[in-house]
Amino acid sequence: MGFNIDKIRADFPILKRKVYGKQLVYFDNGATTHKPQQVIDSIVDYYSNFNSNVHRGVHKLSVEATTAFEDSRKYVAHFINAEDDREIVFTRGATESINLVANSFLSLINKGDEVLITSIEHHSNLVPWQQLCEKKNAKLKVVPVSDDGNLDMEFLDNMLSEKVKIFALSHISNVLGTINPIKEIIAKAHKFGIPVLIDGAQAIAHLKVDVQDLDCEFYCFSAHKAYGPMGFGVLYGKKEWLTRLQPYQYGGEMISSVSLDKTTFNEIPYKFEAGTPNVSGALATVAALKYIKNIGIDNIAKYEDDLLEYATEKLLEIDKMRIIGTSSEKTAVISFLVGDIHPYDIGTLLDQMGVAVRTGNHCAQPLIDNYCIPGTIRASFAVYNSKEEVDYFIEALKKSLAMLA
C-alpha cells in the first residue's frame, strides 16, 4: 500500500473526536497510540465469536482460541524476525517484560557485579535494575548522555567489562527521541560477553526491528504504543537465555508437573506465562502489527521523519524555544521548553485548544534532572498525524505563549 494520509486517518475513529468543541489534535503518541478500526474489530470478533480459555480445553472454542493465540506468537516472531516462535513471551507490556528479566536475573547476579543502564532510561528500565542491584549488593552503572541527547560512547567503552552481567538500554528515548546506535552497542557489549536487553517501547511503531540482525539477547515492547491494545506486550529472548532463566511468576500453565513436594516447569516460552493470558490482546496486537506491515514500516519512518523535520523547523521560529534532544538520529518526538514558562501551563492551554501533548518528566526523572529543567512539553507523532495538525499546533502554541506573556 502507498502512503495515503486521508485513508489512514479514516481508519482511526477517535480522530473524529472533538475536545472542548475543537477538533482533536493528538500529539501524545509516545504515551499511547490510538487504535485503527481493524484492531478494534479484532477484539470484538474474539469476544463475539470464539472467546474461550487457551491451552486447556478439548472443546472447539478453546481449540480455536488456542490456535489463534499461538498463531499470534508466530506472527510476532515473524514481525521482529525472531529465529523461533518459542523466543516470544507474551506479557502485559514493556514494563512487565523488563521486570521479568530483572527478576529472573536474581540468581545470576552476585555481590560486586555490575548492571549497566543509561541515563536516558524510562523508569521502567531503571527501577527494576536498581532494585535488583539493591537486593544483590551489585552496582548500578549509568552511561551518561551528552547535551544533544546522544549517549557518550567514550564513557560507554570505559564502562564495559567482564564485571557487567547485563546491559539494559532503550532503542529510542521517549523524551529526546534519540535513536541509539544499538547494533554497534550490542556488538561492543558482546566483546565482554555481556547480554543486552533493548527496551523497544518507543521503537516498534517507528522503525524496522530485526532481532537477529541486532543480535540482542532480549527485546521488549508494549502493543499499545504501536496501535495495539493496552495490557499486552512482548518479550523476545534468545532461546538459550530464556531456557537458562528462572520463571518470574508461578501458577497455572507455566508448570510441567506439580506435586505437593515439588513442581517442574513448562518449556519456553510457557514457563514465563503464568495464569490465563490476554488472548484478545494477542489477536489485537497481530491486527496492529499487520496494520503497520500493510503501510510499510519504512514508509511510516519516512513520513514521520518529514513531520518531525517540519515541526522542528516551525518550532525553532518561535522566540526562546529550546528543544531538548537534538541528535541527528531522531524519531518523531520533540521535547521543548519556551523561556522559563512552566511546561504544565503551556500543556494546559494547548489542551483547551484541542491539542493533546505530554508535559512533565515523562517517567524519566533522572534524565530531566540531568538537564536541570522542570520537565518538558513533548509532542510525539504517529502515522496518522498530518502537517495541517502541526500548523494548528504551532498556532495554538503561539496563542498560548501570547496569553502567558
Told to check if 361 binds ligand PLP by CB under 6 A, we report no
**Residue 199, H or E segment:** strand 196-199
Is residue 103 part of the contact set for ligand PLP (CB under 6 A)? no
Count residues binding ligand PLP (CB under 6 A).
14
Answer yes or no whether residue 99 interacts with ligand PLP by CB under 6 A.
no
Cβ–Cβ under 8 Å, residues 248 and 103: yes
The verdict on 150 binding ligand PLP (CB under 6 A) reads no
Closest distance to ligand PLP from the beta carbon of 168 (Å): 10
Q: Are 201 and 180 in contact (CB under 8 A)?
A: no
- Cell triple for 352: 483547551
Q: Which of 29, 103, 124, 327 binds ligand PLP (CB under 6 A)?
A: 124
Q: Could you give the angle at which helices 279-295 and 60-79 cross, rounded to 10 degrees?
A: 40
Q: Is residue 91 near ligand PLP by the rule CB under 6 A?
A: no
Part of the chain binding ligand PLP (CB under 6 A), chosen from 119-127, 204-212, 263-271, 394-402: 119-127
Question: Interface with ligand PLP includes 278 (CB under 6 A)?
Answer: no
Query: Within 10 A of 313 (CB to CB), how many other CB atoms are there?
Result: 11
Q: How far is the CB of 231 from ligand PLP (least distance, A)?
A: 9
> Which positions from 223 through 262 interact with ligand PLP, judged by CB under 6 A?
224
Enumerate the H helices of 126-177 as residue ranges: 127-136, 153-159
Please count the other Cβ atoms lying within 10 Å of the Cβ belonging to residue 43.
16
Interface with ligand PLP, residue 33, by CB under 6 A: no
Report yes or no: 115 and 140 within 8 Å, Cβ to Cβ.
yes
Residue 350 Cβ, how far from ligand PLP at the closest point, in Å?
20
Cα–Cα distance between 250 and 273 in angstroms, integer?
8
Shortest Cβ 320–ligand PLP spacing (Å): 27
Decide whether 171 or 271 has the Cβ nearer to ligand PLP: 171
Out of 87, 199, 217, 389, the only residue in the binding site for ligand PLP (CB under 6 A) is 199
Q: CB of residue 360 vs ligand PLP: minimum separation in angstroms?
A: 12
Q: Which long-range contacts (CB under 8 A, 24 or more apart) does 301-307 make?
A: 301/206, 301/207, 301/208, 301/331, 303/3, 303/5, 303/383, 304/206, 304/331, 304/332, 304/381, 304/382, 304/383, 305/331, 305/332, 307/332, 307/381, 307/385, 307/386, 307/387, 307/390
Interface residue with ligand PLP, options 42, 103, 222, 385 (CB under 6 A): 222
Instruction: Based on the shown chain and the rule CB under 6 A, indicate whether residue 170 belongs to the binding site for ligand PLP.
Output: yes
Reported as type and span, the H/E element at residue 219 is strand 218-222
* 34 near ligand PLP, judged by CB under 6 A: no
Binding flag, residue 94, ligand PLP (CB under 6 A): yes
Give the separation between CA 321 and CA 324, rounded to whole angstroms.
Answer: 10
Q: Which of 38-46, 108-116, 196-204, 267-275 is the region at the interface with ligand PLP (rule: CB under 6 A)?
A: 196-204
Q: Least distance (Å) from ligand PLP to the CB of residue 311? A: 19
Which one among 103, 104, 174, 278 touches ligand PLP, defined by CB under 6 A? 174
Catalytic residues: 363
Burial class (CB in 10 A: 0-12, 13-18, 19+), 373: middle
Least distance from ligand PLP to the Cβ atom of residue 123, Å: 8
C-alpha grid cell for residue 56?
Answer: 486447556
Q: What is the CA radius of gyration of the chain?
A: 22
**Which of residues 202 and 327 has its CB atom nearest to ligand PLP in the complex?**
202
- Contact set with ligand PLP (CB under 6 A): 93-95, 122, 124-125, 170, 174, 199, 201-202, 222, 224, 363
